[in-house]
């Protein structure tokens, strides 16, 4: 079998864990598997590097910050390669640049433009285990970039898509649950979930997989597995795959924390004026979650934007001097996801009735064919999750 395995930071946090992965890799090679391993930085290394940069200046240069952060993954892959070579396993480590990752120039949130897998394939043909640094690549000018939160997931799936391999994402959780078990102890582990549902759950706050990684897996039909690190029984985790429509209308519930509402009031309903506003947001490489527009009695435009608190602060920094804007913090986005939503009537009314019965206010409701999302106050998160989890038997 041809496999790309990805190990998250908590799975490579100690030398003992790294040595255990090395033994696992040797066992996999002895079984005849071709193996690429993608690794994140050890433990909280990335956070420590960010703190180190901020100890120098409160506003570190983004190009240099990416260069610094990339050393976290380089440390992990080198230690993994050393551990594997020490037990007789022919192994080579590659940075994102060495592995052929060409990215956009958006530092800290770069997008993968292409991967030249020539080097990876050459080493695989020689029978080596190839250990690749996740989370990073380089621009056409050789500047190191990072892919943003969950970027190692995207690295792994992108390599699997290029090589035609399976992709196994190993982490500190044993699969995808209907709800975060830390919020709802009765949550159920899913044996399988569709690409579409997983994308929605990831996009809407489920932290187990990065949205772009699932999107890539779906686009290139990469068999994607999520499970606990070093688990050899692939029936114990969750498979993300194409699925037929099921009777169960709701598959899971996601929570997106630190949600912000931004209101731009009384703007000229002018394409040029509004175009400048949204170009500014685009230049910040911010993808808005939701946009709502209304016209007042005077024909002026009122916009309500929904995004993360971090993105909201970026917009405020650049827009508050030119546009009348009101920032509202302290919200979360609660989303029910399921392929059956489009075929089952009454789900939205049931959700709203449950919130009403529990005295929970909502500020925005949006829906798609496979999701219903509501913005509520952060203080009501646990109450809302438990009430909806019980009502929909999640």
Under 8 Å between Cβ of 284 and 319: no
Residue entry with tokens 């997106």: 256
Pairing mode, strands 112-115 and 34-39: unpaired
The CATH fold assigned to 252-392 is VC0802-like (3.30.2130)
Give the whole-angstrom CA distance, residue 271 versus residue 260. 25
Mean pLDDT for the chain overall: 90
For residue 153, give the nearest of 279, 6, 25 by alpha carbon.
Answer: 6
How is residue 74 written in tokens?
A: 């380089």
Q: Is the pLDDT of residue 285 over 60?
A: yes
Give the whole-angstrom CA distance, residue 239 versus residue 183. 23
Mean pLDDT over 369-392 rounds to 91
How confident is the model over 1-45, as pLDDT tens digits?
899 999 999 999 999 999 999 999 999 999 999 999 999 999 889
Supply the pLDDT for residue 303: 83
Supply the pLDDT for residue 322: 78
Mean pLDDT over 334-360 rounds to 87
Give the whole-angstrom CA distance, residue 342 versus residue 339. 7
Its CATH class, for the domain covering 2-240, is alpha beta
Binding positions: 6-9, 46, 73, 171-172, 177, 182
- Higher pLDDT: 284 or 66? It is 66
pLDDT band at 298 (very low <50, low <70, confident <90, very high): confident
> Would you kindly state where each structural domain of the chain is located, as residue ranges?
2-240, 252-392
Q: Is the pLDDT of residue 149 over 70?
A: yes
Under 8 Å between Cβ of 131 and 91: yes
Supply the pLDDT for residue 244: 59
Supply the pLDDT for residue 3: 96
Give the whole-angstrom CA distance, residue 211 versus residue 176. 14
SS3 328: strand
Q: Is the pLDDT of residue 222 over 90?
A: yes
Supply the pLDDT for residue 279: 87
How confident is the model over 182-214, as pLDDT tens digits?
899 999 999 999 999 998 888 887 778 888 899
Binding positions for substrate: 46, 73
Under 8 Å between Cβ of 204 and 187: no
Q: Is the pLDDT of residue 382 over 70?
A: yes
Binding positions for ATP: 6-9, 171-172, 177, 182
Q: Is the pLDDT of residue 324 over 90?
A: no
Under 8 Å between Cβ of 362 and 380: no
Axis-axis angle for helices 347-357, 381-391 (nearest 10): 130
């Amino acid at each position: 079998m041809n496999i790309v395995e990805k190990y998250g930071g908590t799975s490579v946090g100690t030398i003992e864990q790294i040595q255990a992965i090395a033994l696992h890799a040797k066992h996999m090679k002895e079984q005849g598997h071709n193996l690429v391993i993608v690794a994140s930085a050890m433990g909280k290394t990335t956070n420590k590097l960010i703190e180190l940069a901020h100890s120098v200046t409160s506003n570190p240069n983004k190009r240099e910050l990416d260069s610094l952060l990339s050393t976290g993954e380089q440390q992990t892959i080198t230690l993994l390669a050393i551990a594997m070579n020490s037990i007789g396993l022919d192994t080579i480590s590659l940075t994102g640049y060495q592995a052929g990752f060409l990215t956009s120039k958006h530092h800290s949130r770069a997008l993968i433009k292409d991967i030249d897998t020539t080097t990876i394939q050459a080493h695989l043909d020689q029978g080596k285990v190839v250990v690749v640094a996740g989370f990073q690549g380089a621009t056409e000018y050789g500047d190191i970039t990072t892919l943003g939160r969950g970027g190692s997931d995207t690295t792994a799936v992108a390599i699997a898509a290029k090589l035609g391999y399976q992709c196994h994402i190993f982490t500190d959780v044993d699969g995808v649950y209907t709800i975060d078990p830390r919020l709802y102890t009765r949550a159920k582990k899913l044996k399988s979930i569709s690409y579409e549902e997983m994308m929605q759950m990831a996009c809407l706050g489920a932290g187990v997989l990065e949205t772009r990684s699932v999107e890539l897996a779906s686009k290139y039909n990469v068999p994607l597995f999520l499970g606990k690190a070093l688990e050899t029984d692939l029936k114990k985790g969750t498979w993300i795959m194409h699925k037929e429509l099921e009777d169960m209308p709701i598959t899971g519930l996601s929570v997106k924390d630190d949600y912000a509402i931004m209101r731009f009031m009384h703007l000229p309903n002018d394409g040029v004026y509004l175009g400048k506003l949204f170009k500014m947001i685009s230049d910040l490489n911010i993808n808005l979650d939701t946009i709502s527009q209304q016209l007042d009695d005077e024909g002026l435009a009122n916009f309500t934007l929904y995004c993360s608190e971090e993105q909201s602060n970026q917009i405020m920094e650049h827009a508050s001097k030119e546009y009348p804007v009101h920032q509202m913090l302290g919200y979360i986005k609660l989303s029910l996801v399921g392929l059956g939503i489009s075929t089952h009537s009454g789900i939205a009314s049931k959700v709203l009735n449950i919130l009403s019965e529990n005295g929970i206010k909502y500020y925005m409701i949006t829906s798609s064919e496979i999701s219903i999302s509501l913005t509520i106050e952060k203080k009501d998160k646990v109450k809302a999750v438990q009430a909806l989890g019980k009502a929909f038997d999640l």
